[in-house]
Structure 1
Amino acid sequence: MEWRGRRGSRNIEDRRASKGGAVGGIGGIGVIAVLLIGYFFGVDVTPLLQEPAGGSGATAELTQADIEAGEFVSVTLADTEEVWTQLFRTQLGREYRPATLVLFKGATQSPCGGASGATGPFYCPADRKAYLDTAFFTVLETRLGARGDFAAAYVVAHEIAHHVQNELGILGKANQLRAQSSQVDSNAISVRIELQADCLSGVWARTASQTFGTIDRGDFQEAVTAARQIGDDTLQRAAGQRPMPHTFTHGTSEQRARWFMAGLQSGQIAACDTFSTNDL
């Protein structure tokens, strides 16, 4: 994926310099270890990552890697804005309102609760913002085996796809159903939400490739690999657990890769209806 030197988005809210470099007194390696515990086991480790009361609150200096990660996310976000503006106009006959993407290090706050690297990237419909600790890119590459710029771009595209769902009214209705359902049924609805976001990520990837000419076939494979590496069954096995389908909230590795490819091959928003099919 060619991204250096390209136009970035203005809809970036960068909070990464608001704390000291070691969040909550945990060093960089310790942070990654804590993030993995939270990500694999579904534990909210935000309290471990936050700076203790009375901490310095000093402004942190961003590293070169931080700066580069921010530029990469900004370019990817700009690509999503242009593509979804085009697709909303041509396929839906309506206007697309972009999301804001919040960059943070370690922990921050959102209307949906405490945001931390342990939760992984997520979208909050309450403020129409996606939240991302770019340390997740390191986890994705070094611990989960999903390497390459486009694997990281897929992560951004997936969170923006949740914003697309919000714009279409799908996310609100689905979350309302989840609130009225048993835990098992709520998990099943969550899987459909996440697989649709994977499919919409594929729709974005196809159109971005055609529009910008900065993505090739190898990039698509990076995204498929990333989708497979963060399937519920794969993550549970990596955590030493036997996969338990009733606990899945994002879908299996096979499902995530297949729905991304469905969007990639069709390029159509309508092809991503995961709510009316019995074949996930």
Structure 2
Amino acid sequence: MRLKGLRSSRNVEDRRGRGGAKAGIGGLGLLIVLVIGYFAGIDVTPLLNGELGGGTAQQGAPRELSAQEQQAGEFSAKVLATTETVWTQKFASDFGRTYEPPVMVLYSGVTQSPCGGASGATGPFYCPADKKVYLDTEFFATMARQLGADGDFAAAYVIGHEVAHHVQNELGIIPQVNAARQRASEVEANALTVRLELQADCLAGVWAKAVQGRLDPGDMEEALNAARQIGDDTLQRRAGRVPQPHTFTHGTSAQRQRWFARGYDSGDPNTCDTFNAQRL
């Protein structure tokens, strides 16, 4: 993705290098546990609380950001800026509304939000309570090295997906889904969550279509591969489990690819109605 010459978003809160809590099991190992737990639906709280393996939470000292971290932060701020431009235009043209962009929180290891700790809602996530996207930039390396999702546009897709949750929140979709989930059984609630996540994939595809002039050859393949690698079925297999569809919360690899491609092909957020779709 060609970002040279683009502005960086000012809606970035960088918590990296400030100190803060770090899990005793440490570094990339912690992040891998979190990522697999989140996407595979495995409760990793005992690992994080030190109940398995004797890990403890420690307070880290303030530190200087590495060159790689600085580069990841600059990349994230520029990608976020593209989402601001796209959704400002889309809200005006498609919904007749004003778009209020989210703040992106960059953190390292563990952080806190009104939706809970990042160690409990692992990997990148969006918190509707404060309208912020939370991202540990080390996740980009994990995607490439551990999840098989390499490339800058694979990383950009993750940001586009999380911002899409903010779009859903601004449109009132997330509150409606949360209310419905409270009245539903666990299986029904999971099914609603899958539709919410697939809609976010589709909206990320709409964003990708709008920035296609910035894409390099192979970028779309990177995004589609990322969608495949973080499908519930693929991640449950990677975690050594037989895929259990009733536990899915994000959709299968094929579904995630299909809805991202649908948004990209149409460029129209109105085609992303997963809740009335008969086939996901």
Question: TM-score when scaled to structure 2?
Answer: 0.92
The one-character-per-residue Cα deviations of 1:188-224 (angstroms, maximum 9, x if unpaired) are 0000000000000000000112xxx211341111111
103 and 258 in structure 1: CA distance in 2 versus 1, 3 angstrom threshold: same
Kept in 2, the 8 Å contact 1:195–1:256? The answer is yes
Tell me, in whole angstroms, the C-alpha distance in 1 between the residues paired with 2:194 and 2:36: 22
Kept in 2, the 8 Å contact 1:123–1:159? The answer is yes
Tell me the equivalent position of 1:268.
Answer: 268
Tell me the equivalent position of 1:91.
Answer: 94
How far residue 124 of structure 1 moved from its aligned partner, in angstroms, is: 0.5
64 and 93 in structure 1: CA distance in 2 versus 1, 3 angstrom threshold: same
Which sits farther off after the overlay, 43-52 or 160-169? Answer: 43-52
Secondary structure at the counterpart of residue 23 of structure 2: helix
Instruction: Write the letter of the residue equivalent to 2:245.
Output: P
Secondary structure at the counterpart of residue 3 of structure 1: coil
Tell me the equivalent position of 1:152.
Answer: 155
| Identical aligned residues as a percent | 58
Kept in 1, the 8 Å contact 2:2–2:216? The answer is no
Q: How does 1:1-280 map to 2 (within 5 A)?
A: 1-19=1-19, 23-36=22-35, 38-39=37-38, 40=40, 41-44=42-45, 45-47=47-49, 51-52=57-58, 55=59, 57-116=60-119, 119-209=122-212, 213-280=213-280
Instruction: Write the letter of the residue equivalent to 1:121.
Output: P
Which sits farther off after the overlay, 5-14 or 66-75? Answer: 5-14
Q: How many residues align?
A: 273
How far residue 120 of structure 1 moved from its aligned partner, in angstroms, is: 1.3
The one-character-per-residue Cα deviations of 1:111-144 (angstroms, maximum 9, x if unpaired) are 0011139711110000000111111111111111
Instruction: Write the letter of the residue equivalent to 1:79.
Output: T
Q: Tell me how large the CA RMSD over aligned residues is.
A: 1.9
241 and 34 in structure 1: CA distance in 2 versus 1, 3 angstrom threshold: closer
Kept in 2, the 8 Å contact 1:50–1:106? The answer is no
Secondary structure at the counterpart of residue 235 of structure 2: helix
How far residue 43 of structure 1 moved from its aligned partner, in angstroms, is: 2.0
Secondary structure at the counterpart of residue 274 of structure 2: coil
Tell me, in whole angstroms, the C-alpha distance in 2 between the residues paired with 1:257 and 1:37: 19
Instruction: Write the letter of the residue equivalent to 1:28.
Output: G
Secondary structure at the counterpart of residue 166 of structure 1: helix
How far residue 42 of structure 1 moved from its aligned partner, in angstroms, is: 4.1
Secondary structure at the counterpart of residue 172 of structure 1: helix
Instruction: Write the letter of the residue equivalent to 2:27.
Output: G
Question: TM-score when scaled to structure 1?
Answer: 0.92
Structure 1 outlier segments of 4+, above 6 Å:
none
How far residue 36 of structure 1 moved from its aligned partner, in angstroms, is: 4.7
